[in-house]
């Protein structure tokens, strides 16, 4: 059982935080990870910046642009993370588009993930069928979990297939729009959450896109194992740098 599976087995609702590596400053990556663990988050998604992040909203697109301008690269990210497991015990995932991973070399990427202690990958534009036919054995060989995404438009039949192919959690996108913080969920979104919850899938679901405060976190975790916050946290980093991370996390987890 890897760190992700261990965390998913804990009897509580989980909070994951996403941030872009190399943002706001190039050397902030490890500091942010350490502050997030100290603040009580349950797992962390490290965004691999990309020049054409089509599924991301303006906040994450901006952070990716700044990170690249700062000089962040895939190779540098692994260099920054080489000693992370001497200080951090939480599950760590890398989330990014497939193009940089393919350019780096999928096998080398997975090998370097294993070396630094990355537990899983979220690659939104890697189709499940391509993963299963071409890359699954590489991921398994290096002990890297794969996380697939579903949306409100994903059919029940395909969700069941994704559930069968998963070995961690299912990333449940709250809407068909790009990433970005919202003030609440619509009735349509809530119905979607209920529908997936009632399917009784084998793997837990973590809801992402549109989680920004305690209300949206509480509403999402009423139907799923956990929730992911990205854009709202990046806005916090833009305003405060790496300071007051504990305050941000506390506000999410504590009802008003």
Strand order in the sheet with 205-208: 145-147, 120-122, 92-95, 43-47, 14-20, 226-229, 205-208, 170-173, 149-150
45 is catalytic: yes
Does residue 103 sit within a domain?
A: yes
Mean pLDDT of 121-143: 97
> Residues 210-225, buried b or exposed e (16+ Cβ, 10 A)?
bbbbeebbebbbebbb
Q: What's the pLDDT tens digit per position in 47-92?
A: 999 887 666 788 999 999 999 999 999 999 999 999 999 999 999 9
Average pLDDT of the chain, as a whole number: 93
Say if 57 falls within a structural domain: yes
DSSP 207: E
Residue-range definition of the domain harbouring residue 51: 14-148+208-217+227-253
Q: Which residue has the tokens 């890297």?
A: 144
**Structural domains in the chain (count):** 1
Residue in 27, 37, 52, 56 annotated catalytic: 56
In a domain, 222, yes or no: no
Query: pTM for this structure?
Result: 0.94
- Report if residue 86 sits inside a domain: yes
Return the closest-CA partner of residue 172 out of 190, 184, 182, 187. Answer: 190
Catalytic choice (28, 42, 45, 119): 45
Residue 169 lies in a domain: no
Report d(CA 51, CA 119) in Å as an integer.
Answer: 25
The alpha carbon of 99 is separated from its chain's Cα centroid by a whole number of angstroms, namely 18
Cα 160 from chain centre: 21
DSSP-derived pairing of the beta strands 120-122 and 43-47: unpaired
pLDDT band for position 170 (50/70/90)? very high
Q: Is 238 a catalytic residue?
A: no
Give, to the nearest 10 degrees, the angle between helix 214-221 and helix 245-253: 50
The tally of CA atoms less than 13 A away on the side-chain side of residue 227 is: 24
- Residue 78 in domain: yes
Average pLDDT of the segment spanning 92-116: 97
CA–CA gap between residue 197 and residue 153 (Å, rounded): 15
Of the candidates 150, 129, 153, 114, the residue with the CA atom closest to the CA atom of residue 3: 114
Q: Give the C-alpha separation, 166 to 145, whole Å.
A: 8
Q: How confident is the model at residue 181 (pLDDT cuts 50, 70, 90)?
A: very low
CATH of the domain at 234: 3.20.20.70
Confirm whether 237 is domain-assigned: yes
């Amino acid at each position: 059982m890897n760190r992700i599976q261990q965390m998913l087995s804990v009897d509580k609702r989980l909070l994951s935080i996403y941030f872009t590596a190399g943002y706001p400053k190039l050397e902030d990556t490890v500091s942010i990870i350490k502050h997030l663990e100290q603040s009580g988050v349950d797992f962390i998604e490290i965004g691999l910046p990309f020049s054409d992040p089509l599924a991301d909203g303006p906040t994450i697109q901006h952070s990716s642009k700044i990170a690249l301008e700062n000089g962040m690269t895939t190779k540098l990210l692994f260099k920054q993370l080489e000693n992370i497991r001497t200080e951090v015990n939480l599950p760590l995932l890398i989330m990014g588009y497939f193009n940089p991973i393919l350019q780096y070399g999928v096998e080398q990427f997975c090998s370097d993930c294993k070396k630094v202690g990355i537990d899983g990958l979220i690659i939104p534009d890697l189709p499940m069928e391509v993963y299963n036919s071409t890359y699954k054995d590489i991921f398994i060989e290096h002990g890297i979990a794969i996380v697939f995404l579903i949306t409100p438009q994903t059919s029940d039949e395909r969700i069941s297939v994704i559930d069968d192919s998963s070995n961690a959690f299912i990333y449940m996108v709250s809407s068909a729009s790009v990433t970005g913080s919202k003030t609440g969920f619509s009735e349509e979104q809530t119905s979607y959450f209920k529908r997936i919850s009632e399917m009784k899938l084998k793997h837990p679901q973590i809801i992402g896109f549109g989680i920004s405060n305690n209300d949206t976190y509480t509403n999402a975790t009423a139907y799923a194992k956990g929730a992911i916050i990205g854009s709202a946290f990046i806005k916090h980093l833009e305003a405060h740098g790496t300071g007051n991370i504990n305050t941000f996390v506390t506000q999410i987890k504590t009802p008003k």
